[in-house]
Structure 1
Amino acid sequence: MKQTYRSKTAYVLAWIWLVFVALNVVDLVVRFSGKASLVALAVLAVLTALVYAVALRPATVLTEEGLVGRNPFRTTFLPWASIDDVGVSHSINVRYGDDQVLRLWTPMSSARERAKAQRRGAPAQQRGRFATEPALSKGEQAAAEAFAGKTHADWVGDQIRDRAESAKRRSKEAGPARVTWSYDSIAALVVALALVVAAVVA
């Protein structure tokens, strides 16, 4: 089963930005005024290429065959059995091969999110003689215990670790890691730079 994890905040903000850019491009084309319009288009193109590379493209994908880490300009595929260790700090760091490290761009955990997770994991204080919090169902209690003290990045790191260990228990052969360039991000930047050159030359 394929599971994709990304920063929801960055993803939503990126789509809001794309709608804003689309409206501005239509306005600039309709009211084209020479070099000023070209400069505005070039600025929008550069910012949009960066937003695409940093906010829309990054994702952590768990497939049946292995882990796919999509970073701004590279995609790394790691078969589950090739993963040696998984550590989580600000980002998820996956060790493989000859002490190589894949740093996943998403999900990340901020200091604020980690502090919130630690507060959530602390035992609830009961005030007075009577409990004021509603009683949780067994399912809610199990979910609360599973996420106690953990950020989203910690949870995804656990999923990666569990799948890697399961593949090794099945004595699955570790295939080679594959790293490829992100041609879509590079193409977006090339188009943006072409517009910058056109704006300067015009």
Structure 2
Amino acid sequence: MKRTYRSKTAFVLAWVWVAFVAFNVYDLITRYSGKPSLVALAVLGALTALVYAVALRPATVLTEEALVGRNPFRTTYLPWASVEDVTVSHSVNVHYGDERVLRLWTPMSSARERAKAQRRGAPAPQRGRFRTEPTLSKGEQAAVEAFAGKTHADYVGEQIRERAESARRRQEEAAPVRVTWSYDAIAVLVVAVALVVAAIVV
């Protein structure tokens, strides 16, 4: 089963930015005023290229065959049998052949999120003689226990580790790791650079 993980907050804010840029580009084109409009377009283009590279594009994709790490300008296809270890700090780090490490851009865990997860994992203080806590169903209780003390990055790291261990149990052969450039992000960057050059030259 294919699963895609990314920063939901960054993804939503990026699309809000894209909508803002689309409105402003339309306004600048309909009310074109020469160099000032070109400069404004160049600024919007440069910021949009940055937003696309760091907020819209990054994703961690778990497919049946491999882990796909989409970072700003590169995509890494890492077959499950090639995964040797997974560690989680502020990011998910996937270790594979020759002591190489794939650092996934998303999801990441901040110090604040980790502290919140640790508080969530701690037992609730009991006050007074009578307890008024709601009774959880078995499914809800299992979910609470599964996420106790864990961030989203920890959860994704566990998913990667489980799929890699499953591939090893099936004795799958380690296929070659492929790293490709992100031509879409490069194209967006080239357009932004072209707008900046045009704003300077014209």
Query: In the aligned structure 2, how far is the partner of 1:132 from the partner of 1:97?
Result: 53
Which consecutive unaligned segments of at least 5 residues does structure 2 have?
none
Q: Which amino acid aligns with 2:69?
A: G
Q: Quote the offset at 1:126 in angstroms.
A: 1.4
Amino acid at match of 2:127: R
Structure 1: give runs of 5+ residues left out of the alignment.
none
Partner of 2:5: 5
Matched residues in 1 for 2:193 and 2:156: separation?
A: 36
**Structure 2 letter corresponding to 1:10:** A
Counterpart in the other structure of 1:58: 58
How far 1:135 moved relative to its partner?
1.1
Question: What TM-score, normalized to structure 2?
Answer: 0.99
Q: Superposition pairs for residues 24-173 of structure 1, below 5 Å?
A: 24-173=24-173
CA distance in 2, matches of 1:117, 1:37: 47
Q: Deviations over 1:148-201 (max 9, x none)?
A: 000000000000000000100111101110000001101101011001111111
Aligned-pair Cα RMSD in Å:
0.5
Structure 1 residue 147: deviation in Å?
Answer: 0.4
Q: Matches of 1:22 and 1:132 in 2, distance apart?
A: 51
Deviation beyond 3 Å, 4+ runs, structure 1 = none
Give, in whole Å, the separation in 1 of the partners of 2:176 and 2:129: 61
Once residues 201 and 172 of structure 1 are traced to their aligned partners in structure 2, the CA distance between those partners, rounded to angstroms, is 56
1:140 partner amino acid:
E
1-side partners of 2:155 and 2:180: how far apart? 27
Identity of aligned residues (%): 81
CA distance in 2, matches of 1:177, 1:59: 18
Q: Distance in 2 between matches of 1:55 and 1:102?
A: 18
Structure 1 counterpart of 2:191: 191
1:22: Cα distance to partner?
0.4
Partner of 2:22: 22
Q: Distance in 2 between matches of 1:116 and 1:66?
A: 31
